[in-house]
């Protein structure tokens, strides 16, 4: 196991009734890569059961699954499990383990070249370990300073020039860079009674909510939001997805239905490396010069294994091959009302 990941995992504390999980942690350090993957599959099967979140030590299962996925360079699943671990520890007011889960989530983001998101997780980790040390009178303890120094070292690493991920832009200029704004999703915690005897909840319900967004403003510019699936303002947000915005350039999707994507629109997407048939996706492809990559927004035809334009002009489908990479799935488009 990689030293940084092993060091953090060894810092996790377990309550007395979680001895089996403590034993599993020690076994993980001795497992081969194949054994880790087999154990990860068993954890995933358990965590996908509807009753999994009702189990008291589920946070540790999330943490172990996320750590193994991170060790095996499965960064997207790792981030999902580690975010769930941090969320579960937060609901238990376990600031110490929440800090470690956030630290690991930051490592997953950094490995996936999501530098801004990694910094946010590292800051959360720092804040939570400070809360723990203050409440437990551990501000002078060696373990506190060890964790703080480790988090600061991880944060400092994000300040260094980052190697470009496979399929990312290598040339300069606005046409070959992809930047996006991270948005939060919102868990739904069920109902609450407007009286003195209302129920107390412990876990959130479901994994997806639907909200209506009329619009938002960026730098005094107001945008209206439309779902690319229904055409209205109802947007589905899934918990633990990483959302972002990109600006649309060009006319190759200006006849998309139910809502066209025109030059200057903002596309709301979630990060993903796969997509269902007929989804609108953000993808990378080699530029014409062969010196780097550009980004495009197209309709994904899984049956044809091709990226398709939907335009008032004629564009040839772009066959998918190993040079292409799906980066995100578009769920909505934001337009200026005047346009």
Q: Decide if 46 contacts 53 (C-beta within 8 A).
A: no
pLDDT of residue 146 exceeding 90, the answer is yes
Q: What is the pLDDT of residue 193?
A: 53
Distance CA 229, CA 206 (A): 21
Q: What's the pLDDT tens digit per position in 92-126? A: 888 999 999 999 999 998 888 788 888 889 998 99
Q: What's the pLDDT tens digit per position in 213-248? A: 666 777 677 788 888 987 777 777 766 677 888 888
DSSP-derived letter for residue 187 is -
Return the SS3 of 240.
coil
Write out the CATH class of domain 3-157. Answer: mainly alpha
Write out the CATH class of domain 174-335. Answer: mainly beta
pLDDT band at 275 (very low <50, low <70, confident <90, very high): confident
pLDDT band at 162 (very low <50, low <70, confident <90, very high): very low
The tokens of 103 are what? 């630290």
What is the location of CATH 1.25.40.10 in the chain? 3-157
The tokens of 289 are what? 């010069």
pLDDT of residue 80 exceeding 60, the answer is yes
Q: What is the pTM of this model?
A: 0.50
> Which among 70, 94, 79 has a CA at the least distance from the CA of 7?
70
Q: With pLDDT > 70 as the criterion, what percentage of the chain qualifies?
A: 76
Q: Considering only CA atoms, give the Rg of the chain.
A: 22
- What separation in angstroms does the CA of 27 have from each of 1, 4, 5, 22, 119? 12, 17, 15, 9, 31
Q: With pLDDT > 90 as the criterion, what percentage of the chain qualifies?
A: 24
Contacts of 75 (CB under 8 A, 6+ apart): 69, 108, 109, 111, 112
What value does the mean pLDDT take over residues 141-162?
84
* Element containing residue 267 per DSSP (H, E): strand 266-271
Q: What is the pLDDT of residue 122?
A: 92
What is the location of CATH 2.10.109.10 in the chain? 174-335
């Amino acid at each position: 196991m990689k030293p940084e990941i092993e060091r953090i995992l060894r810092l996790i504390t377990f309550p007395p009734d979680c001895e089996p999980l403590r034993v599993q942690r020690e076994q993980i350090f001795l497992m081969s890569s194949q054994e880790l993957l087999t154990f990860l599959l068993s954890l995933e099967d358990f965590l996908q059961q509807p009753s999994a979140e009702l189990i008291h030590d589920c946070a540790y299962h999330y943490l172990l699954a996320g750590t193994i996925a991170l060790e095996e360079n499965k960064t997207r699943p790792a981030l999902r499990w580690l975010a769930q671990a941090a969320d579960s520890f937060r609901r238990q007011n376990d600031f110490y383990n929440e800090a470690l889960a956030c630290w690991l989530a930051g490592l997953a983001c950094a490995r996936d070249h999501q530098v801004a998101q990694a910094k946010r997780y590292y800051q959360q980790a720092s804040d939570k370990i400070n809360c723990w040390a203050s409440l437990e009178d551990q501000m002078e303890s060696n373990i506190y300073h060890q964790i703080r120094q480790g988090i600061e070292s991880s944060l400092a690493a994000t300040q260094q020039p980052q190697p470009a991920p496979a399929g990312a832009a290598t040339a300069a200029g606005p046409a070959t860079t992809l930047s996006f704004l991270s948005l939060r999703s919102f868990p739904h915690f069920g109902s609450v009674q407007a009286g003195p005897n209302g129920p107390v909840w412990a876990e959130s319900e479901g994994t997806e909510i639907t909200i209506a967004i009329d619009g938002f403003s960026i730098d005094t510019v107001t945008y209206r939001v439309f779902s690319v699936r229904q055409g209205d303002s109802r947007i589905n947000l899934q918990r633990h997805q990483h959302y972002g915005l990109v600006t649309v350039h060009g006319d190759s999707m200006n006849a998309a239905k139910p809502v066209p994507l025109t030059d200057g629109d903002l596309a709301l997407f979630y990060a993903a490396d796969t997509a269902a048939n007929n989804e609108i996706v953000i993808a990378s492809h080699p530029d014409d010069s062969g010196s780097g990559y550009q980004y495009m927004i197209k309709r994904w035809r899984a049956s044809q294994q091709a990226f398709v334009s939907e335009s008032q002009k004629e564009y040839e489908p772009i066959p998918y091959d190993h040079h292409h990479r799906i980066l995100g799935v578009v769920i909505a488009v934001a337009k200026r009302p005047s346009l």
